[in-house]
Amino acid sequence: MYTGYFGLKEKPFSIAPNPQYLFMSDRHREALTHLTYGLGGSGLENNGGFVLLTGEVGTGKTTISRCVMEQLPENTQAAFILNPTLSSQELLATICDELKIRYKKTGATLKTLTDKIQEKLLKNHQNNINTLLIIDEAQHLLPEVLEQLRLLTNLETNTKKLLQVVLIGQPELQMLLKRRDLRQLAQRITARYHLLPLNKSEVALYIKHRLSVAQCFRELFSTKAIAAIHQISDGIPRVINLICERALINAYSSNNAVISKKIVIGAAQDALGDDYHLAPWWQHKMLKTLAASTLLFTLVFAGYYFGQHQLGQHQQSSALVAQKIDTTQEHLSEQGFEKKSENMPIKKSILVEKEPLVVADVSPPENTNTAKSSMTNNVVQSLAERGAEHLAKQENQVELLANNIVSENVNQEVPNEVNYQVNATEGVSEDLLMRFQDAIDETGNNKQSNEAEPSTREEIAPLADMPQWLQQAIPNLEFTMHIYASDGAGWVTVNGRDRYEGDYIERELLLSEILPQKVVLNFRGEKFTVAALSSW
């Protein structure tokens, strides 16, 4: 096909993991160095058990592993597993097959297979043979299978592990190894590397390298075509191979000696199908950054302007409220009320004093007849009733004023009472004055009695303040994780197990409640708190 047209010895962009076409970019060279170091160099003299290589799909992980296998010394026996979607027993059987270990196919158990593998490892060690296990696509391994692998690496001498394992997988493998039940395996990883995609300059060198391996030393791809390939593939080598392969076919069909950007875009549509997506000009990173910066500046400016506008309105509102307060004070003064303190704002304490109740001196003179005395008593009673009505009206006016002041949204407290003082006046009996004063005081007391006192939460003592017998009866508690949650949905990890509200940690020891930085426990009817700080 196109190989003869372009003078190629073979297809240069095959997706097969051919080590001859391995492009040693700075990232690939560093990954190979990490793998070689993790395996102990050329002699594989390493005191660790696991080596980890991760990367996105198509970045060249398998090709690097093939390159590592080609560089292994002669005294190394390697087992390569490509399909790790196996159970623990199936994985051990596959290892036996790769290491040429004979076992009974029927009735084989985990113990039988494990013993066979350990015998093989000891025999290889006695014969100065290193044993290596490489597992590709390791992100598909089950947690129990990974734990079985860790147990296999327990066989060791004073200086080295008898089995070394290389785990190769996608970034999901890193998340898998962060599981709490796999922390022992994660601690045995002696070398790890994450392979990143190629940058723009490396994409050009990658294409040139593969063409040179295929015996083509002229430029087949234009500069704009290479830039488009990098943009579409995001630097993933496998995607680059797919696009370049299809571009060569399209150029051969249209009799083009050089692949242009237009040919690359058409090839990407043919090779990637629905996965192809060329970002339009308005979605470029530079424009996105500029748009984000402009939006952020606009929000900051709008927030500043809105804040200044609100501050001006607040100051204007405060001035209006102050003016209304002054008007109200003048009104109170005209009605016979005075503030007790000029320094105390009327919003905070409306304490006014009623002017002395002036009742006309209508005391009957001595030697007055009974009719005149009865008329005088009627006049006094009428004046007293009018005085009581006047006091009630003034009290209503003060209450209405307080409500109006609160409605102006002034952040000051309005007191619960208005104090009046009835002064003694000639012609009014002390009994009548006391009745006026008692009526006023009773009105204030009724208002105060309607106020409810806020309830306080019961404080629970910590374990250190509990009796000595209780402290000695409580078992050892080790809190290693604490999730803060106010709805009771959180948990704490105590003594290695996750516990929720209502669970028994030990016999008779109940986890009653989870609070921030502490928990409430109940032991034999006694409640107390224990610190449970967060480590996550």
Summarize the confidence of residues 218-228 as an average pLDDT: 91
Residue 328 near residue 346 (C-beta atoms within 8 A): yes
Q: What is the mean pLDDT of residues 397-421?
A: 48
> 450, 416 in Cβ contact below 8 A?
no
Residue 80 has pLDDT above 60, yes or no: yes
pLDDT at res. 392 = 59
Greatest CA span in the chain, whole angstroms? 150
Contacts of 372 (CB under 8 A, 6+ apart): 364
Pairing of strands 518-523, 492-494: unpaired
265 to each of 78, 100, 193, 230, 500, how far by Cα in Å?
43, 49, 33, 11, 56
- Mean pLDDT rounded to a whole number for the chain: 76
Report which listed range, 66-70, 394-398, 511-515, is most confident: 511-515
Buried b (16+ CB within 10 A) or exposed e, 231-242: bbbebbbbbbbb
pLDDT for the residue 82: 87
- Last residue of one domain, picked from the residues 152, 171, 195: 195
Give the mean pLDDT of 394-417. Answer: 48
Q: How many domains would you assign to the chain?
A: 5
Could you tell me if 78 and 69 are in contact, meaning their C-beta atoms sit under 8 angstroms apart?
yes
Specify if 301 maps to a domain.
yes
Residue-wise pLDDT for 319-338, tens only, equals: 766 676 666 666 656 655 44
| 97 and 216 share one domain | no
Indicate if 436 and 500 belong to the same structural domain. Answer: no
Higher pLDDT, 116 or 371: 116
Q: Is residue 98 included in any domain, yes or no?
A: yes
pLDDT greater than 80 at residue 238: yes
User: Is the pLDDT higher at 221 or at 324?
Assistant: 221
* pLDDT over 50 (residue 413): no
Domain that holds residue 364: 336-447
Among the residue ranges 209-213, 365-369, 384-388, 423-427, the one predicted with the least confidence is 365-369
* 454 belongs to a structural domain: no
The confidence score (pLDDT) of residue 343 equals 44
Q: Percentages helix, strand, coil for the chain, rounded to the nearest 5?
A: 50, 15, 40
Res. 357 pLDDT band, cuts 50 70 90: very low
pLDDT over 80 at 340, yes or no: no
Q: Please say whether the beta carbons of 170 and 55 come within 8 A.
A: yes
Instruction: Tell me 57's DSSP state.
Output: T
pLDDT in tens, 100-150: 999 888 888 999 999 999 999 999 989 999 899 999 999 999 999 999 999
Same domain? For 242 and 105 the reply is no
User: Based on the domain organization, do 191 and 206 belong to the same domain?
Assistant: no
Higher pLDDT, 354 or 279: 279
State the pLDDT at residue 364: 44
Indicate if the pLDDT at residue 262 is higher than 70. yes
Task: Indicate the residue among 447, 478, 504 that finishes a domain.
Answer: 447
pLDDT of res. 274: 62
Q: Is residue 322 part of a domain?
A: no
For residue 353, the model assigns a pLDDT of 41
Percent of residues, the chain, with pLDDT higher than 70? 68
Task: Say if residue 252 is in the same domain as residue 128.
Answer: no
Q: Answer with the residue of higher pLDDT: 266 or 333.
A: 266
User: pLDDT tens digits, residue range 421-432?
Assistant: 667 666 667 777
Residue 285 has pLDDT above 70, yes or no: no
Average pLDDT over residues 54-73: 84
354 neighbors 337 (Cβ within 8 angstroms): yes
> Do 307 and 426 fall within a single domain?
no
pLDDT of residue 407: 47
Domain boundary residue among 195, 212, 243?
195
pLDDT given at position 61: 87
Angle at alpha carbon of residue 378, lines to 374 and 380, rounded to 5°: 115
| Strand 509-515 to 518-523 pairing | antiparallel
What average pLDDT does the segment 519-523 reach? 89
pLDDT tens, residue by residue, 155-177: 887 777 888 899 999 999 999 99
Residues 432-446 have pLDDT tens digits of 777 777 777 766 555
Q: What 3-state class would DSSP assign to 18?
A: coil
The predicted pLDDT at position 286 comes to: 66
In this prediction, residue 505 carries a pLDDT of 86
Q: Is residue 328 part of a domain?
A: no
Quick check: is 331 in a domain? no
Establish if 18 belongs to a structural domain: no
Q: For residue 372, what pLDDT is reported?
A: 45
The whole-number pLDDT of residue 508 equals: 83
pLDDT at position 535 is 47
Using one digit for the tens of pLDDT, what is the confidence trace for 457-479?
Answer: 468 889 888 888 888 888 888 87
Tokens of 240: 């680059």
Same domain, 59 and 172: yes
Q: Are residues 390 and 485 in the same domain?
A: no
- pLDDT tens for 489-518 read 677 888 878 888 888 888 788 888 888 778
Position 270 in a domain: yes
- Quick one: tokens of 179? 């599981």
User: Contacts from 98-102 at CB under 8 Å and sequence distance 24+?
Assistant: 98/133, 99/131
**Claim to verify: residue 172 and residue 58 sit in the same structural domain:** yes
Same domain, 53 and 177: yes
Whether 34 and 176 map to the same domain: the answer is yes
Residue 199 CB burial class (10 angstroms; 0-12, 13-18, ≥19): middle
Give just the sign of the alpha carbon dihedral 152, 153, 158, 159.
positive
Contact assessment for residue 175 and residue 206, using Cβ atoms and an 8 Å cutoff: no
Instruction: Give the number of other Cβ atoms within 10 Å of residue 56's Cβ.
Output: 16
Residue 489: how many CB atoms within 10 A of its CB?
10
What is the distance between the alpha carbons of residues 194 and 60, in angstroms, rounded to a whole number? 11
Strand pairing report for 504-506 and 509-515:
antiparallel
Q: In the structure encoding, which two tokens stand for residue 267, read together?
A: 């090839």
468 and 430, same domain (yes or no): no
